[in-house]
Amino acid sequence: MKKNGLLSRAFLAILFLFLYAPIFVLIAFSFNDSKSNAVWGGFTFDWYVQLFQNRTVLGALQTTLLVSVLATLVATVVGTAAAIGFSSMKRRPRSLFLTVNNIPLTNADIITGVSMMLLFVFAGQALADFSGWLNSQEWAVNADLWFDFGFSLSFVTLLIAHITFDIPYVIVSVQPKLRQLDPNLAEAALDLGATRLQAFWKVVLPELMPGIVNGMLIAFTMSIDDFVISYFTAGSQASTLSMVVYSMVRRRVSPEINALSTLMFVAVLILLVVINLRQARQEERRKRQALRS
Q: Where are the domains of the chain?
A: 23-53+259-293, 56-253
CA distances from 131 to 135, 136, 141, 154, 248 (A): 6, 9, 11, 20, 40
pLDDT in tens, 254-288: 788 888 888 888 887 887 788 778 777 877 877 77
CATH superfamily, with its number, for domain 56-253: MetI-like (1.10.3720.10)
Of residues 235 and 84, more confidence is placed in 84
Task: Tell me the percentage of the chain whose pLDDT exceeds 90.
Answer: 13
DSSP single-letter state for residue 32:
B
Give the separation between CA 170 and CA 175, rounded to whole angstroms: 9
Q: How confident is the model at residue 145 (pLDDT cuts 50, 70, 90)?
A: very low
**Polymer length of the chain:** 293
pLDDT in tens, 199-251: 778 888 888 888 898 899 889 988 988 889 998 988 777 888 888 888 877 77
H or E element in which residue 38 lies: none
CA distances from 245 to 49, 93, 123, 176 (A): 18, 43, 30, 37
pLDDT in tens, 102-126: 888 888 888 988 999 888 888 877 7
Phi-psi category of 268—alpha, beta or left, where left has phi over 0 and alpha has psi -120 to 50?
alpha
